């Protein structure tokens, strides 16, 4: 199993904005694209890919199953619909979007249906998103160790989730960081600005490089071509031990997203 370390996110982008963002991302060099059923943009992503001329085999596509489709009789049909919108016969990674405890569908049923989607060849890898330690343990119990490719979680210099990330590393599950820039809040951080100035980099590049150096995958999004290109340069930025220690000290449990009824009890 392998997850690309750098991809482009499409959260909150629909219609032409989504098409343009994905097209620009592909043109400047991205080859991993993250979407979800609830984003309402799978067809836009599919259009952008089709028009790009980039071969499907060169891409890594991720989508996420929405809570309404967690039941055994809904998950696979919903994924087939996603594939139709994306204009492909498989995705590279499919995630359970939120644990949604108490939604009436046992986690076992959902994870078994997700594993079935993989066995049918609809997705090459499977994973989870927004799961805490205990729910990740339960998911592993259903599908077996070494099967869950990633847990996609909110992470930023302000929300470092050390207990959860340590557990995931121990289990061999890749951490995918979303909202690495905390809705742009970290862009105004004076500590990060100082580190950026020292390296001749942008603050966004520093935050992304921090996550990459910790071994996380990142999926930043942007509607601006220049920002998409700039973010990619984070791959070449090497932060030193002092930089990493300063960023470690920015932890403040600064969670931006925790929807009631969907989120777990956070670690």
Please identify every residue annotated as catalytic: 39
Phi-psi region of 4 (alpha: psi -120 to 50; beta: other; left: phi over 0): beta
- Alpha helices (H) in 100-237, listed in sequence order: 107-119, 133-143, 162-170, 190-199, 203-213, 225-232
Query: Which residues on neighbouring strands pair with residue 33, listed in sequence order?
Result: 8, 61
Token duo for residue 62: 């991720």
With beta carbons less than 8 A apart as the criterion, state whether 45 and 11 touch. no
Judged by DSSP in three states, 180 sits in coil
Strand, coil or helix: what is 175?
strand
Q: How far apart are CA 7 and CA 83, in angstroms?
A: 19
């Amino acid at each position: 199993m392998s997850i690309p370390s750098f991809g482009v996110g499409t959260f909150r982008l629909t219609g032409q904005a989504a098409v343009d963002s994905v097209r620009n991302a592909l043109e400047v060099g991205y080859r991993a694209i993250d979407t979800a059923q609830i984003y309402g943009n799978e067809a836009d992503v599919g259009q952008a890919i089709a028009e790009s001329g980039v071969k499907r085999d060169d891409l890594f596509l991720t989508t996420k199953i929405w809570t309404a489709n967690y039941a055994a009789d809904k998950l696979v049909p919903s994924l087939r619909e996603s594939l139709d919108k994306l204009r492909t016969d498989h995705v590279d990674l499919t995630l359970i979007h939120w644990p949604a405890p108490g939604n009436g569908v046992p986690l076992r049923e959902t994870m078994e249906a997700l594993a079935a989607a993989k066995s049918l060849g609809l997705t090459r890898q499977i994973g989870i998103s927004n799961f805490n330690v205990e729910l990740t343990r339960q998911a592993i119990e259903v599908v077996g160790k070494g099967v869950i490719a990633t847990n996609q979680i909110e992470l930023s210099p302000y929300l470092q989730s050390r207990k959860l990330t340590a557990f995931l590393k121990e289990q061999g599950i890749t951490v995918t960081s979303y909202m690495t820039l905390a809705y742009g809040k970290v862009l105004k951080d004076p500590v990060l600005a100082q580190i950026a100035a020292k390296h001749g980099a942008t603050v966004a590049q520093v935050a992304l490089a921090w996550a990459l150096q910790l071994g996380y995958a990142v999926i930043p999004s942007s509607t601006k071509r220049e920002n998409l290109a700039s973010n990619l340069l984070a791959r070449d930025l090497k932060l030193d031990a002092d930089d990493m220690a300063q960023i470690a000290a920015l932890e403040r449990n600064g969670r931006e997203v925790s929807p009631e009824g969907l989120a777990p009890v956070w670690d």
